Structure 1
Amino acid sequence: MFTGFGDAAVDFYEGLEADNSKAYWQDHRHLYDDHVRAPMQALLLALEPEFGEGRIFRPYRDVRFSKDKVPYKTQCGATAGAHYVQVSADGIMVAAGYYAMVPGQVARYRAAVDDERHGPELERLVAALHDDGFAIGGDRLKTRPRGTDPDHPRLDLLRHRALYAHTAWEPSEELHTPAVAERVAAAWRRMDPLAEWMNAHVGVTLDDAAESSRRRR
């Protein structure tokens, strides 16, 4: 049963930010296991009936092709379908949408944005989320896709190579209570129309999955 994140969750990540080393990790691993990972697993189980099975990301960074060799992530992130939640020294962050897309997905996304029925629908969804205080993120071009009319009515959306909505809450006593589960669920529900639009018009094919796997190698 989810009862909230542990009292040491924020302190653990503040310490990891200050000393991102194997020695710190080994000395404080019990805090991660008991105050971060176990509560995150309980949170996902509590949300599973409505949002589907969740998965917690590994705490170790993949530094093989990165100039930044810091070994550990300074947040615990998890997904349930197109939904995301993380806990860190900054508190809780939740999101929904597509954080990264391979070329085939980008092509389908832009075709849907260009469509005179589906594109305006997305435009309305994004505007409504923004009005409700959600931030809109996603990697995007600085200019415009090749061949795109500079006066396209949805040029800003066409620049995106990924698209998601997100919001966050600073650490508070609520972080350590069961109320976190309903707050996360309420945010995910509000972002669901965006996730559903992306699933319907972009989705993930077998080729997309294979390309994504190649990129992670």
Structure 2
Amino acid sequence: MSVFTGWLPGAVAFYEGLEADNSKAYFTEHRAEYDELVLAPMQALLDDLAGEFGEGRVFRPYRDIRFSADKSPYKTAIGATVGGSGYVQFSASGLGVGAGCHVMAPDQLARFRAAVADDRSGEALVAAVSAVEAGGVGVSASDRLKRVPRGYDADHPRADLLRDKDLTAWVDWPVEPWLHTPEAEDRVVDALRASRPLTDWLDAHVGASESERSR
């Protein structure tokens, strides 16, 4: 098992090059740099995090271009899941850490809205969001309805949350000297811990999709 020591400047340079030349030729020529400077540190980080946050999984570097107008073949960031709801991403722009529910299946969304509407669990979510933000991590939705969903009062005190179709804690940092040191792991750990009020609430009131449970 390797030891996480940060992402060296060469990892940033790899992605800067890939952004400039997103081609198979570039990736093939620099594959050893990707494996050693990008992938290996991410795997070492996941190994370190597994004991507290759960097993991680690194996403493949290849983009799914079947239904995309953008046919560039490679992702310009390496991303990995951490446990059931955490996420870590490294790129030429820096480091990002998130946790929560980025996409909700219909049954999850139904449970989410019911819990938001309920005074007890809804207020608990408001408190959880405030706690996460007090820890220096933002909370937001990437997809939101223009209006409160049918069946809920448009003047509901938590109308904004009812409009959300997902909810995620997220923080990112630009490239700084600490990124090339073990301090990067400390930043990830702190962000994931700070996100726990939200992830605990989602675990308790939303949970996994029924389709995933039946697999």
| Superposed pair shares fold, TM > 0.5 | yes
SS of aligned partner of 1:146: coil
Query: CA–CA distance in 2 between the matches of 1:176 and 1:33?
Result: 16
CA contact (8 A) 2:135 2:194 kept: no
1:167 aligns with 2:168: no
Counterpart residue type for residue 98 of structure 1: C
Residue 80 of structure 2: aligned partner: 78
Residue 124 of structure 1: aligned partner: 127
Question: 1:94-133, CA deviations, whole angstroms, 9 ceiling, x for partnerless residues?
Answer: 0110111111111111111111111111011112333443
Counterpart residue type for residue 68 of structure 1: D
Q: Residue 113 of structure 1 is aligned with which of 113, 116, 119?
A: 116
Counterpart residue type for residue 114 of structure 2: A
TM-score normalized by structure 1? 0.92
Superposition RMSD on alpha carbons, in Å?
1.6
Query: CA–CA distance in 2 between the matches of 1:56 and 1:182?
Result: 19
Query: CA–CA distance in 2 between the matches of 1:67 and 1:202?
Result: 34
How much has 1:206 moved relative to structure 2? 4.1
Query: CA–CA distance in 1 between the matches of 2:86 and 2:112?
Result: 18
How much has 1:209 moved relative to structure 2? 6.4
How much has 1:142 moved relative to structure 2? 2.1
CA contact (8 A) 1:59 1:73 kept: yes
Q: Which runs of 5+ in 2 are unaligned?
A: none
Counterpart residue type for residue 26 of structure 1: T
CA contact (8 A) 1:77 1:87 kept: yes
Residue 24 of structure 1: aligned partner: 26
CA contact (8 A) 2:129 2:197 kept: no
How much has 1:55 moved relative to structure 2? 0.6
How much has 1:50 moved relative to structure 2? 0.7
Counterpart residue type for residue 45 of structure 1: D
1:137 aligns with 2:173: no
Counterpart residue type for residue 152 of structure 1: H
Which structure 2 residues correspond to residues 93-104 of structure 1 after superposition, within 5 A? 93-104=96-107
Question: 1:131-179, CA deviations, whole angstroms, 9 ceiling, x for partnerless residues?
Answer: 4432222221122212321110001111111100101111111111111
Question: 1:24-46, CA deviations, whole angstroms, 9 ceiling, x for partnerless residues?
Answer: 11111111111110000000111
Query: CA–CA distance in 1 between the matches of 2:193 and 2:132?
Result: 12
Q: Residue 187 of structure 1 is aligned with which of 191, 199, 202?
A: 191
Residue 207 of structure 1: aligned partner: 211
How much has 1:67 moved relative to structure 2? 2.1
Q: Percent identity?
A: 55
Q: Residue 45 of structure 2 is aligned with which of 27, 43, 46?
A: 43
Query: CA–CA distance in 1 between the matches of 2:72 and 2:149?
Result: 34
Question: 1:175-207, CA deviations, whole angstroms, 9 ceiling, x for partnerless residues?
Answer: 111111111101110101111111111111441
Query: CA–CA distance in 1 between the matches of 2:41 and 2:183?
Result: 13
Residue 65 of structure 2: aligned partner: 63
How much has 1:10 moved relative to structure 2? 0.9
